[in-house]
Amino acid sequence: MNDTRNPFEAMMAQAHEMAKALNPALESFSPKGFEALWPTMPKDVMEMWFGNTVNKDGLDAKTRLLLTLAGLTMQGAQADTAVRQTVRHAIEAGAKKQEIVETIGQMSMFAGIPAMTRALELAQDAMGEKEDPET
């Protein structure tokens, strides 16, 4: 009896079996489908929460979201949902696709090409949902 699976694979298989036993519908659960339940905030709401409402001379929501995207890229773009939602919110706050691509591209100098590539893939996925007439 030689089970060559690594411990992570064994743990994931066990978790999958537990989820299936608790709720059979979880077998086909998609995190991306769950992500769609979170709507994109309107620009005015973002300005109120993240923009210059509190600090009138501070950063606007678009700039804050581009900085957030840069930080997520620096972390290796490991949080798929966070990157896609940040991209969608940045577009809603007035960012152009080119600004999003440049923000991610700039991080390649610090985070490396793999992190930049992963972030660009996630951003492209999120940007494909909305048309940007000005690109």
Measured distance CA(81)–CA(85) in Å, rounded: 6
Contact indicator for 59, 97 with CB cutoff of 8 Å: no
Angle (CA) 36 63 47, round 5°? 65
Confidence at residue 133, expressed as pLDDT on a 0 to 100 scale: 47
Q: What percent of the chain has pLDDT over 90?
A: 39
Per the model's pLDDT, the better-predicted residue between 27 and 130 turns out to be 27
pTM metric for this prediction: 0.67
Confidence at residue 31, expressed as pLDDT on a 0 to 100 scale: 66
Instruction: Map tokens 């659960």 to a residue.
Output: 29
Q: What percent of the chain has pLDDT over 70?
A: 79
Average pLDDT of 41-48? 76
Average pLDDT of 17-43? 73
Confidence at residue 39, expressed as pLDDT on a 0 to 100 scale: 73
Sequence-separated (6 or more) residues with CB below 8 Å from residue 83: 69, 72, 73, 77, 119, 122, 123, 126
Contact indicator for 118, 125 with CB cutoff of 8 Å: no
Q: Residue 133: which region, alpha, beta or left (left: phi > 0; alpha: psi -120 to 50)?
A: alpha
Confidence at residue 124, expressed as pLDDT on a 0 to 100 scale: 94
Contact indicator for 124, 91 with CB cutoff of 8 Å: no
Sequence-separated (6 or more) residues with CB below 8 Å from residue 38: 85
Confidence band for 38, pLDDT divided at 50, 70 and 90: confident
Please determine, for residue 119, whether its predicted confidence score (pLDDT) is greater than 90.
yes
Confidence at residue 9, expressed as pLDDT on a 0 to 100 scale: 82
Confidence band for 21, pLDDT divided at 50, 70 and 90: confident
Please determine, for residue 10, whether its predicted confidence score (pLDDT) is greater than 50.
yes
Record the tokens describing residue 53, joined without a space.
């409402």
Contact indicator for 54, 96 with CB cutoff of 8 Å: no
Measured distance CA(42)–CA(80) in Å, rounded: 21
